[in-house]
Amino acid sequence: MIFLELVLQNFGPYSGKQVINLSPKIDEENSHPIILLGGMNGGGKTTLMDAIRLALYGARAQCSTRGNLSYSDFLNQCVNNKIDPVADTRIELLFEHIENDKPIKYRVVRSWTKNPKDGKDTLGILGDSDTWPDALVNIWDEYIENLLPLGISNLFLFDGEQVKELAEQETPPPVVVDAIRGLLGLELADRLAVDLDILVNRKLKEVGNSKDLANLEEIETRLTQQQEDYQTTEEKVEILKDQVEELEQKQQEAFDKFISEGGKIAAERNQLELQQNTKTAEIEQVRQSMCELAADVLPLALIPNLLTQAQAQGEKEFRHQQIQISKDLLIERDQRLLAWLNQVEISPIQVEKIQSFLIQDVDSLYAKTIQIEAPWLLADDETLSQLDNLIYHLQNSKLSAKEKLAILKNKEEEIHTLERQVQTAAAPEDYTKLRQALEAAQNQVVEAKANYETIRRRLGELETIIAKSKRELSDYTVENIKHKNSEHIITSAAKVQNTLKIFREKLTLRKLNKLEEEVKNCFLYLLHKSDLVHRITIDTKTFSLLLYDLNGKPVPKHRLSAGEKQLLAIAFLWGLAKVSGHRLPVAIDTPLGRLDSSHRSNLVERYFPSASHQVILLSTDTEIGKKEVETLRENEAIAREYLLKYDSSTRQTTVVENQYFW
């Protein structure tokens, strides 16, 4: 597994949306596993660790600031105190892991608001496809247990306080003990032992509460009688079924006769006559509308040619009138021109030529246009406009008349159809006989079906009774077998518990031997001092570490310096992570604690670059200082650097990329 990206939105001191790229840099020649995040105490380092835990485990997450808070109260505590109460708080963790030999990416999204109604967050899973992630939400707790079990998560996501506690105590703290038990598989063995006790108690209760077994002979006699009753009832059901089918056939014949001889139409006579009267009233209404059209302009549709001729003649006379007016205007203008010419110094001959030209010009202009017969219509403008309107309304009236004629035709055909139906209806006395015959047939069918249904239900009841008797007969033998099985389970439980105890002890020894060797190797590698410890053992009950020198003598833990104790604690966690077999990222909060310079150098040079394929370090400026960060940079172990800038006035933290304290 590799953590690729962490997104915080209004979470803790992180206001707004802030994105942290966590992916390490791995190339063919070198590996750069370390993601270094620097921040002062109280600046939000531990919040990042809590965000990772919360994204993965939700309500089960073992976060540093939760304490005894309920999940709802803890979510409220995580909301940034500067945002709008209705704004979303959101955590996104993008990670990649190998599934079916292929890299798969999942983005775990948890969001909530201040004081959520249901006291929970909203979980969403985004993946490479849309099919699996939707179903993954419902089984996420089980799924993440296969990738990074909660019980051993503290081996990979730990802080300096955990290292300090592990270093100073003679026995590991509860969180480390739980991780060891989960790693060794002891949880399954313990759970099996508890389940076995529950099973034994249940079987003891069954044996203690068992009743006397039923009399076998009485059950068999009762079952035989029930089977005979069932056979008799089944025969009755078949007879009644045939009777129902016969009566249904007669009912159908009566119904067909009722239809063919006009009984149905006779029953509907009143409805048909009512429809006929309605259609007649509708026809009368259409005819009244047509009379209104005939009383208006519609009769003029008989003389369309005369109307068209009058309209054309009016247009010609109107044009002739306009031409005459324009001619008179031109003649008046020519007269004014000639009068003016006579007043100026122009010779009479020239005036005559001009006058002759004007007369010829007027005659030539109107010679072609005045080829019209003398006006005879003598209509004025208003009359011609009324004639145009009359022709327009006449067209609309003709269309309306055609529509009403079509409606009238359809209504008359509907009335004719209704009249034919009424004529085929049976006479009242014949209708009564047909109806009575049909009702009698229907009543016989209803009665026969009721009898059939009653007997059929009785048959079903007998089936249930017989099945119950058969179960009693079968349980007579099964109960004996169960009784003997319960006694066998109870007597065998003690043997199984002893076997389970031996198995747990051997399993613990076998896995602890491997763990002891790994812890020793890690400790000597970090200590860089091979003469201090020769062998390390782990107590099978308390899981405390015991150190021995080259002579096989115990090395008391108090003889170790504070730095050596912390290196031993880190070696213990490192060894547990190796033995787990899980290839997982390591995240360390405040990693160096009270280490002196030499031990700090060993941890920086030896542990951080080798702890995992991805190492997330959350450090203050006094832990991974200028010297340590320069060493990591020189060794090309750092993939990315971030600085968590905390503003004490606003109590908000901002993530600055590509920057550290130095």
- For helices 428-527 and 186-208, the axis angle rounded to 10 degrees is 130
Cβ–Cβ < 8 Å for 88, 658:
no
280-296: per-residue pLDDT in tens? 888 899 889 888 888 88
- 133 located within any domain: no
Domain count across the chain: 1
Contact status, residue 158 vs residue 589, Cβ threshold 8 Å: yes
What whole-number distance in Å separates Cα of residue 323 and Cα of residue 175?
A: 117
How far from chain centre, in Å, is Cα 215? Answer: 59
Nearest to 110 by CA among 126, 130, 96, 95: 126
Structure-block tokens of residue 144:
């993440």
Q: Which of 92, 96, 124 is nearest to 19 (CA)?
A: 92
* Token pair of 648 as six digits: 């004490």
Q: What angle do CA 315, 321, 327 make, to 5 degrees?
A: 140
* Encoded tokens for 292: 């209104």
Domain residues for 344?
269-424
Q: Do β-strands 586-589 and 157-159 pair in parallel, antiparallel, or remain unpaired?
A: parallel
As a whole number of angstroms, the distance between CA 624 and CA 416 comes to 106
392 residue type, one letter: Y
What contacts 197, CB < 8 A, 6 or more positions away? 493
On whether residue 356 sits in a domain, the answer given is yes
Whole-model pTM: value is 0.55
**What's the burial of 97, exposed, middle or buried (CB within 10 Å: 0-12/13-18/19+)?**
middle
pLDDT at site 479? 57
Number of alpha helices (DSSP H) and beta strands (DSSP E) in the chain: 17, 16
Predicted confidence at residue 213, as pLDDT, reads 45
Determine, yes or no, domain membership for 333: yes
Inside any domain, residue 606: no
Q: Is 28 domain-assigned?
A: no
- The CA distance from 342 to 340, in Å, is 5
Contact call for residues 588 and 159 (beta carbons, < 8 A)? yes
Measured in whole angstroms, the distance separating CA 437 from the mean position of its chain's CA atoms is 62
Q: Which two tokens stand for residue 274?
A: 């009512």
Q: Is residue 315 part of a domain?
A: yes
Which residues in the chain come in under a pLDDT of 70? 28, 128-133, 185, 187, 201, 203-217, 261-270, 366-374, 421-431, 475-487, 529-530, 593-594, 596
In the prediction, which pLDDT does 550 show?
86
The residue with tokens 């009702």 is: 439
What SS3 class is residue 535? Answer: strand
How many residues make up the chain in this entry? Answer: 662
Q: What is the DSSP letter of 268?
A: T
In DSSP terms, 93 is beta-bridged to 6, 108
Closest CA to 632 of 39, 24, 36, 4: 36
Distance, in Å, from the CA atom of 145 to the CA atom of 69, rounded to the nearest integer, reads 24
Domain contains 388:
yes
DSSP-derived pairing of the beta strands 34-39 and 31-32: unpaired
- Of 234, 630, 297, nearest in space to 461 by CA: 234
Q: Would residue 491 count as lying in a domain?
A: no
Q: How far apart are CA 69 and CA 76, in angstroms?
A: 10
- pLDDT tens-digit map of 132-177: 567 788 899 989 988 888 877 887 888 877 777 777 888 887 777 8
CB count in 10 Å sphere of residue 625: 18
> Can you tell me the distance from the alpha carbon of 331 to that of 359, in angstroms, rounded to the nearest whole number?
8
Encoded amino acid at 503, one letter? F
pLDDT at residue 224, as a whole number? 86
User: Rounded CA gap, 198 and 189, in Å?
Assistant: 14
Q: Are 307 and 391 in contact (CB under 8 A)?
A: yes
Alpha carbon distance 462, 233 (integer Å):
9
Can you give the three-state secondary structure of 365-393, one letter per residue? Answer: HHHCCCCCCCCCCCCCHHHHHHHHHHHHH
